[in-house]
């Protein structure tokens, strides 16, 4: 499914994203080393075994990227100009290799751009849940979105 244009978002819209994803050890390893994060809690099974978690945690920046990424096909695929910012990012529960994440997104605001007539700003709240229904990630994101092309808007 292609992404939606600015005009297609309404405050309060709720998306239950169809795609889910099981996180693997390889995902965690790659995200951790590619981001140059040497935290042993993500990389060292022996170190992690001695923590309160008892095993390696999935890198939270990967969790955030995955939660937002799982929302893209049904919201912003090909229609976003760029991200303007993320705020209030939280990780209420840890993610471990083997967890399967699903995502819900709510549109919390939508407003036309004052500087670009062909764009608008949509605020999303993304929530990621594990297979037990536990909230593992929540993020507020502002996206700079394309408006529907004039010819397409006039055809309706």
Print pLDDT tens along the chain (156 aa).
Answer: 489 999 999 999 999 999 999 999 999 999 999 999 999 999 999 999 999 999 999 999 999 999 999 999 999 999 999 999 999 999 999 999 999 999 999 999 999 999 999 999 999 999 999 999 999 999 999 999 999 987 655 555
The length of the chain in residues reads 156
What CA–CA distance (Å, rounded) separates 6 from 121? Answer: 7
Distance in angstroms (rounded) separating the CA atoms of residues 156 and 152: 7
Of the options 3.40.50.720, 2.60.40.1890, 3.10.129.10, 3.30.470.20, the CATH number for the domain spanning 6-155:
3.10.129.10
Query: What is the β-pairing status of strands 135-146 and 119-129?
Result: antiparallel
pLDDT at residue 150, rounded to an integer: 74
Token readout for 100 is 């399967």
pLDDT of 149 reads: 85
d(CA 149, CA 109): 21
| Pairing label, strands 14-16, 100-112 | antiparallel
Residue 61 in tokens = 């920046």
Residue 141 is predicted with a pLDDT of 98
Assign 91 to helix, strand or coil. coil
Whether residue 71 contacts residue 141, with contact meaning beta carbons closer than 8 Å, is answered with no
């Amino acid at each position: 499914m292609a992404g939606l244009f600015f005009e297609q978002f309404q405050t309060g819209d709720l998306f239950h994203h169809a795609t889910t994803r099981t996180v693997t050890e390889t995902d965690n390893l790659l995200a951790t080393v590619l981001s140059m994060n040497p935290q042993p809690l993500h990389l060292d099974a022996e170190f992690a075994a001695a923590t309160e978690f008892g095993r390696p945690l999935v890198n939270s920046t990967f969790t955030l990227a995955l939660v937002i990424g799982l929302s893209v096909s049904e919201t912003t695929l090909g229609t976003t100009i760029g991200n303007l910012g993320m705020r209030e990012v939280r990780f209420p529960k840890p993610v471990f290799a083997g967890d399967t994440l699903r995502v819900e997104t709510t549109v919390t605001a939508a407003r036309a751009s004052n500087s670009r007539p062909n764009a608008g700003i949509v605020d999303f709240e993304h929530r990621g849940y594990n297979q037990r229904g536990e909230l593992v990630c929540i993020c507020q994101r502002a996206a700079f979105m394309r408006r529907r092309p004039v010819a397409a808007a006039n055809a309706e």
